[in-house]
A and B are shown apart, each in its own frame.
Chain A
Amino acid sequence: MNPIAGVGRLGAWAIGSVRALGRFTLFARTLLGAGASPPLRLRRLVAEVYDAGVLSLLIVCVSGFAVGMVLGLQGHNTLVRFGAEENLGAVVGLSLIRELGPVLTSLLVAGRAGSAMAAEIAAMVVTEQLDGLRMMSVDPLDFVVAPKALGMILAMPLLSTLFVVFGILGGWAVGVIVLGGDAGAYLSTLEQATEFSEDVLGGLIKAAVFGVLVGFIATYQGFTARATTAGVSAAATSTVVIASVATLIFDYFITALWGY
């Protein structure tokens, strides 16, 4: 491959990326307009919170418990070296509240609900259901897409909270029941180390931002999917990939901006 063609290909890739980002921004703006304007479509919203939230409950709670158990075990093994194993509660709790809760919940929900959301909208594109809605002069963005994105945004902080609670329980199960640590110390070190505004609120804001990311990326991928069967699977795949990477990248910037 000669170098000139290589540079040209790089340029084409860069133009393509910027163009995709621009389309995504325009889509997000239109979606915001559609979601913010009445009617609220409460029943559609409840159905979407059910799909994104309630159906993700099992995977989120089980994963949270498992992560908490691992943190309890690893934390105990490390802390024991310094003779500080009574601080296990603080280690498990802070890791979960600040980082692991929002990030892992976002990754799990992107895989579990985000992909389904993108595939559902993409299938509607393929089967021309969205065109049918337009024929009846119903805006598909307002009727189908906006409640889905909003449902994801509402569900994510709630799921992240449950992930953290189950993680703390998991750490407790290993640290106190299995390894025989002190139950009172586990909770009191956790309570002393955690601040509401710095830790709990920071984690909630992370989860809300991740909800916006996953919700918008999933609906965008579905809405702009090619109208073929391959387009449906491509929409689901790229939702998981893009939403996961975006979560991890945004996580750094939110952490830096929140002022640790």
Chain B
Amino acid sequence: MRETPNRELWVGCFVLVAMAGLAWLSLSVGGLELFRPKGLELVASFDEIGGLKSRAQVVIGGVKVGQVKAIDLADDFRAQVTLEVDGELALPADTSASILTAGVLGDQYIALEPGGDPETLESGEAISFTQGAVILERLIGKLIQNIGGGSSK
């Protein structure tokens, strides 16, 4: 077995490379959280979240700063969305959150707009100023109603 060391080296390389690929697939692509530093966790309630899904992006001025961690129905039948944003962000306490859509049919995301309050949001605190998603069908429905109402007069 003269070639044994060489063979072991190859197997070692094979396992290492495959493990690196697996780590990329799990941690980056699959979003498995093992070593990621714990971010700032914020809660926001909305009347209507439309098609927002967990892992949707959270942006400030178009720059991605976090993602939606969980979506639950609160006791008052509002949608409670848990956001996880970069832990180093010092967001003013009067930051507002709104659900927007990328393009007409694109994915929905949450845009944060920092206010001017000197106090900052701590982990677990709620964002009080929120604006829910705009549902296209309801807008069209209202528009048709308005047009119909106008012509009957």
Chain A interfacial positions (CB closer than 8 Å to B)? 43, 46-47, 49-50, 53-54, 57, 83-84, 93, 97, 157-159, 161-162, 164-165, 168, 188, 190-192, 194-196, 199-200, 204
Residues of chain A with a CB closer than 8 A to B105's CB: 83-84
Are A93 and B29 interface neighbours, CB within 8 A?
A: yes
Are A194 and B30 interface neighbours, CB within 8 A?
A: yes
List B1-53 residues whose CB lies under 8 Å from chain A: 4, 7-8, 10-11, 13-15, 17-19, 21-22, 24-26, 28-32
CB distance from A183 to the nearest CB of B (A): 15
Are B11 and A165 interface neighbours, CB within 8 A?
A: no
CB distance from A33 to the nearest CB of B (A): 26
Task: Report which of B7, B15, B30 forms a contact with A196, defined as CB distance below 8 A.
Answer: B30
Known pairs A46-B8, A200-B30; A161 contacts B14 (CB<8 A) = no
Are A47 and B25 interface neighbours, CB within 8 A?
A: no
Are B8 and A199 interface neighbours, CB within 8 A?
A: no
Instruction: For the complex, give the distance between the alpha carbons of A64 and B89 in Å.
Output: 41
Determine whether B125 belongs to the interface, using a CB cutoff of 8 Å to chain A.
no
Are A161 and B21 interface neighbours, CB within 8 A?
A: yes
Are B30 and A43 interface neighbours, CB within 8 A?
A: no
Known pairs A194-B30, A195-B31; A97 contacts B25 (CB<8 A) = yes
Known pairs A93-B29, A165-B21, A200-B26; A46 contacts B14 (CB<8 A) = no
Are B31 and A53 interface neighbours, CB within 8 A?
A: no
CB distance from A185 to the nearest CB of B (A): 10
Determine whether B55 belongs to the interface, using a CB cutoff of 8 Å to chain A.
yes
Determine whether B56 belongs to the interface, using a CB cutoff of 8 Å to chain A.
yes
Residues of chain A with a CB closer than 8 A to B7's CB: 46-47, 50, 54
Instruction: For the complex, give the distance between the alpha carbons of A250 and B13 in Å.
Output: 31
What total of A-B pairs shows CB separation below 8 Å? 72
Determine whether B117 belongs to the interface, using a CB cutoff of 8 Å to chain A.
no
Task: Tally B residues with Cβ within 8 Å of A.
Answer: 26
Task: Report which of A47, A93, A161, A191 forms a contact with B22, defined as CB distance below 8 A.
Answer: A161
Are B29 and A200 interface neighbours, CB within 8 A?
A: yes
Residue of A nearest to B24 (CB): A165
Determine whether B72 belongs to the interface, using a CB cutoff of 8 Å to chain A.
no
Give 15 CB contacts A-B under 8 Å.
A43-B4, A47-B7, A50-B11, A54-B13, A54-B14, A84-B105, A158-B14, A159-B18, A161-B18, A161-B25, A192-B55, A195-B30, A196-B30, A196-B32, A200-B32
CB distance from B15 to the nearest CB of A (A): 6
Are B55 and A164 interface neighbours, CB within 8 A?
A: no
CB distance from B16 to the nearest CB of A (A): 10
Residue of B nearest to A51 (CB): B7
Instruction: Give the one of A157, A168, A196 with max B CB within 10 A.
Output: A196
Are B17 and A196 interface neighbours, CB within 8 A?
A: no
Residue of B nearest to A164 (CB): B25
